[in-house]
Every structure is written in C-alpha cells, then in structure tokens.
Chains A and B, each alone.
Chain A
Amino acid sequence: MSLREALAAGEYVITAEVGPPKGTDVKEMLHAAAALKGRVHAVNVTDNQSAVVRLSPVVACHMLLERGLEPVLQLTCRDRNRLALQSELLGAASLGIKNVLALTGDHVKLGDHPTAKPVFDLESVQLLKVIGELNAGRDGAGSELLGPADFFAGAVVTPEANPLEPQMAKFEKKVAAGAKFFQTQAIYDLEKFASFMERARAYQVKILAGILLLKSVGMARYLNKNVAGVFVPEPLIEELKGAADPPAKGLEIAARQIRALAGVCDGVHIMAIGAEEEVPEILDLAGLKN
C-alpha cells in the first residue's frame, strides 16, 4: 500500500529517512534502506541536507524504488531555480517517484559551501503550487505538459516554534497551496504537540509527528541550543542522564513517544540520523509489527 493509500485508509503511518552519501559509495545508504524495508510505509531521502553537498536525492529515491521501498523525495528551493525544480520533479515522476516533501531549505551559509549563491527563486509554498500545476498537466508558466505528474505533496511544520503564530499562518498557506501531508520538526513535548494537533485537525491534512532519536545528553543539549523549534524537556534529559546505556534509553524514549502519539496524529516520521538500523528495534519496542 502506498503512503497516500495508507494515510487515506487511516493507518498509523511510519516513515523514516535516509541521507544520500557524500560521494559515490551508496552501500551504507542501501544498508540503512534495507533495514527499513517492510517496517515503514515510506522512506524520506534528504536533499543536500543542512546545505552539505551529497548525492542527488532523485537518484537515491530511484535506488530505493528499485529495491522495493517507497521513497519520499525531499526537494529544497535552495539549490535550484524554478526551471531546475520542475525539471527535477518531471524526472522524478517519470521514474515513478510519487511523494514529494516541499522544503525551502537551510541557507547555504550553514553548510559546506557557505560562499555559494543561494537560489530561493521559489520557496516551499510556491513549490507546492508548482507541484499542483504539474499534477494538473501544466508547468509553472501555464504551458501544457506531455504527460502530467501525479505527486502526493507534503510539507513540514514546526509545532514548537517560538513564536508559533507566524509558523501556523505559514502552515495554513502550505495547506492552501496543496500540501496533503505534513512531517513535523522533531517534537518531544507531547502536551504542546497535542494542542498543535487540535488546531491542525481543522484542516484536511495528515500529520506525521517528527521523532528524532536521542543518543546522548550532549545531543539533547545541542538540539536545545542550536536547532530551531526543537526543545528537549529537562525531565527527558534527566532520564537520559540517569540511564546506564543512554543510546538504549534513546530508543526506549522514541518507542514510548510513538506509542503515546497513536491516536493523537496520523503517524510518525522517525529521524534516526545514521542509526537507521535501530529503527526496527524502536518499532518493536513500540509494539508495532511488520
């Protein structure tokens, strides 16, 4: 069952993500993908994540498709103008890639080519509109396509952003622009997330809560200090601190959150950042079967 069908059917959907390599050796990425096969509904493929040069996400998505996984193509507006974005999308569609996550993208200054020209010809909302046009058989300039696309478009939202209101207003624009599903920034405060969900339920969209696997106290503190809209509450940090095996505790916390979120939202998006082979264990701990 595809991601779109699983969400439509009301399944508790699990997605995870893999990052293409910086280089041509795809063994590790494919190993991570293999660990996820059969356990998740779809696998996001990141796009020059954190503005660091990596192998093309369209190519990586195709490799996943060939191995029987359903990819979600993450597409940022940082590195491509509107022609390149459409060209990439048409190429992805022709390869059978169905899901696109439309992102504005981290600024190049945060990455490994900080003096590069940042593009941002479009941003996430405008990219969602363009995807809608491609689905309708037209390009962004209104010209007819030889064969339309059929993308299931998604976007991101930060439920714990501070201040929240501007982000919520942008969330509404993304919905209006055609986003059908959202994968959220990492959430740890389930109460705050529940109040976000109350507001999000006013819209006909599916919400997958972002689960970012905690590996250590240091990582939790780093997230709090450096990552926008991610707040690891102090009790969770204490729990990690008191654990004999912090990485194992991280798995347990993620599993607990996944259980607690069932019924609150439509699924979870697990970001294991290099520990993808642990995802099946998290799902086992959460009591989720193949």
Chain B
Amino acid sequence: MIAAELKPFKEINESLLPFERVLVVGCGTCTTVCLTGGERQVELLATALRLARKVEGSSLQTKEATVQRQCEPEFAGVLKEAAGGLDAALSLGCGAGVQLVSDVLAPLPVLPALNTSNIGVAKEHALWEERCAACGDCVLGGTAGICPVARCAKGILNGPCGGTNDGRCEIGDAPCAWTLIYERLEAQGRLDDFKRIAPPKDFAAATGPRKLDLREVADEP
C-alpha cells in the first residue's frame, strides 16, 4: 500500500489562498486505509480550511468528493462534473492521484494535501512501515524476503555497513536491514546467498519515467 501523510496545515492553507471555491478530493483506496486521505479526513480538512479562512477575515467555499481511486480515469473522471464552477482542487491522494486528477481537471489547478511517503505494510494499527522502493530490479529472492534497497538507509547490497550497532541502523529509529537479512538467511540455512557478491545495481530500472505496458497481452476490459 502507498502511505502518505498530511502536509503541515499552514502549508496547505497558504497554497489555497489565491482561491475561493475549492474541490477537496479524497481517495478511497490507499490513503483511506492509512487514515490520511479518506472521506472523513476530507471533511475534517475542508472544515478546518474554511474556519482558518474565516479567522483570516475572508471566506472559502469547499465541495467534497471522494473517489474510489484517484489514480484511475475510470473513477477520477466523475470529478470533472463536481469541479464545475470551482477555482481549484485539493487532492488527498498520493502523488499519482494528484497527477491524474490534475490531468482530468486540467486546466484547473490541483494542489496536494499529502506528502507521499512510501510503499509499505501495516505493522500494527495506525503504523505503516516502508517495504518497497519500487526499484524495478527486485532482489528479495536473495535477501530472505527483506529488502535492503528500501530498508537499509544506504540501500546497499553486500551486507551491513560499519555504522550498525546492536542490530540498529546508524540513522533513525529502525532495525539494521542487513542484520535482519543475515539472521533470517542463517535461520533458513541460506548464508551462501549472503556470501555471493552482488554486482552494482541496475539503476536504469529505477530511472523514470517508467511505465508498465501490457496493452498487447492483457485481456479486453
């Protein structure tokens, strides 16, 4: 899932200052699940923005709409009608959602309300942790299902750096991915995978703009 967090309120509020009538758009998939961009957050944010504007002595009209997925024209298409007569839209989708909504609503300005953080997993209630860097060249087969690209701060491929201590990363509050990889490979009897020298990574696979094109092989919709 894509995890995204709310931008600072001040930043969102200031980005909307040139506008008076704004469509606030939620996304019913990832950002609903991670509690930052669903119907409820749309309502809360729209209310807060209207109040802030009032306090500043002017006014803001908001209209709310949450689509199932902002990243698909099939769902985002309905926003075109909802945006009629408005000055701008504020998207509570991930970066992909903001862009597709921008395309759909062009030339209407569409502003982001979230900072897209990572492709991650739900560790526990209300806690998501990054697991995939979408590097385009998956190495998980040799790393015991623990990704050093996403989970090692340096994204290195041949074992822990010298900065790890007590199984922790040298920066931030996170376990050392390579310590985890070593331990799990050992438990799996696969330490030979650790010993194999990984060649320099193919960063071409991670260089955008990328696309997935299955038009020739996919079944008709």
B200 touches A122 (CB 8 A): yes
- Say which residue of B159, B200, B201 sits within 8 Å of A170 (CB atoms): B159
Question: Quick check: is B85 within 8 A (CB to CB) of the other chain?
Answer: no
B153 touches A166 (CB 8 A): no
Question: Quick check: is B170 within 8 A (CB to CB) of the other chain?
Answer: yes
User: Which of B162, B163, B191, B194 is packed against the most chain A CB atoms within 10 Å?
Assistant: B162
Give the CA-CA distance A54 to B113 in the complex, in Å.
Answer: 39
Chain A residue contacts of B165, Cβ below 8 A:
161-162, 228-229
Give the CA-CA distance A65 to B158 in the complex, in Å.
Answer: 33
Chain-B contact segment, one of A101-109, A213-221, A264-272: A101-109
Given known pairs A121-B203, A228-B170, the reply for A167 and B160 (CB within 8 Å) is yes
**Chain B residue at minimum C-beta to C-beta distance from A177:** B197
CB of B134 to closest CB in A, whole Å: 17
- Say which residue of A122, A123, A140 sits within 8 Å of B161 (CB atoms): A123
Give the CA-CA distance A78 to B203 in the complex, in Å.
Answer: 16
Given known pairs A120-B155, A121-B200, A122-B200, the reply for A166 and B160 (CB within 8 Å) is yes
Question: Quick check: is B156 within 8 A (CB to CB) of the other chain?
Answer: yes
Chain A residue contacts of B170, Cβ below 8 A:
106-107, 110, 228
Give the CA-CA distance A177 to B199 in the complex, in Å.
Answer: 11
Residues of B147-201 at the interface with A, using a CB-CB cut-off of 8 Å, are 153-167, 170-172, 178-179, 182, 186, 191, 194-195, 197-201
B197 touches A104 (CB 8 A): no
Chain B residue contacts of A249, Cβ below 8 A:
none
- Say which residue of B162, B197, B203 sits within 8 Å of A167 (CB atoms): B162
Instruction: Count residues of A near B (Cβ-Cβ below 8 Å).
Output: 35
**Chain B residue at minimum C-beta to C-beta distance from A120:** B154
CB of A138 to closest CB in B, whole Å: 14
A228 touches B200 (CB 8 A): no
**Chain B residue at minimum C-beta to C-beta distance from A109:** B171
Give the CA-CA distance A158 to B161 in the complex, in Å.
Answer: 10
Give the CA-CA distance A126 to B157 in the complex, in Å.
Answer: 9
A156 touches B200 (CB 8 A): no
Chain B residue contacts of A109, Cβ below 8 A:
153, 171-172
Residues of A171-208 at the interface with B, using a CB-CB cut-off of 8 Å, are 172-173, 176-177, 185
Residues of A66-124 at the interface with B, using a CB-CB cut-off of 8 Å, are 78, 82, 104, 106-107, 109-110, 118, 120-124
Chain A residue contacts of B171, Cβ below 8 A:
107, 109-110
Chain B residue contacts of A3, Cβ below 8 A:
none
- Say which residue of A78, A110, A166, A177 sits within 8 Å of B178 (CB atoms): A166
Chain A residue contacts of B153, Cβ below 8 A:
107, 109, 118
Question: Quick check: is A129 within 8 A (CB to CB) of the other chain?
Answer: yes
CB of A178 to closest CB in B, whole Å: 10
Give the CA-CA distance A161 to B167 in the complex, in Å.
Answer: 10
Chain B residue contacts of A158, Cβ below 8 A:
162
B157 touches A166 (CB 8 A): no
Residues of A128-186 at the interface with B, using a CB-CB cut-off of 8 Å, are 129, 140, 156-158, 161-163, 165-167, 169-170, 172-173, 176-177, 185
Chain A residue contacts of B197, Cβ below 8 A:
125-126, 129, 173, 176-177
CB of A77 to closest CB in B, whole Å: 8
Chain A residue contacts of B191, Cβ below 8 A:
169
Chain B residue contacts of A104, Cβ below 8 A:
154, 156, 161-162
What are 7 residue pairs bridging A and B, where the CB atoms are less than 8 Å apart in the complex? Answer: A120-B156, A121-B203, A163-B179, A165-B182, A166-B159, A172-B195, A228-B164
Residues of A whose CB lies within 8 Å of any CB of B are 78, 82, 104, 106-107, 109-110, 118, 120-126, 129, 140, 156-158, 161-163, 165-167, 169-170, 172-173, 176-177, 185, 228-229
What 10 additional pairs, Cβ within 8 angstroms, besides A123-B161, A129-B197, A169-B194? Answer: A110-B163, A121-B200, A125-B198, A126-B199, A161-B162, A162-B165, A166-B159, A169-B159, A169-B191, A173-B158
Question: Nearest 4 pairs between A and B by C-beta?
Answer: A170-B159, A228-B165, A123-B156, A125-B158
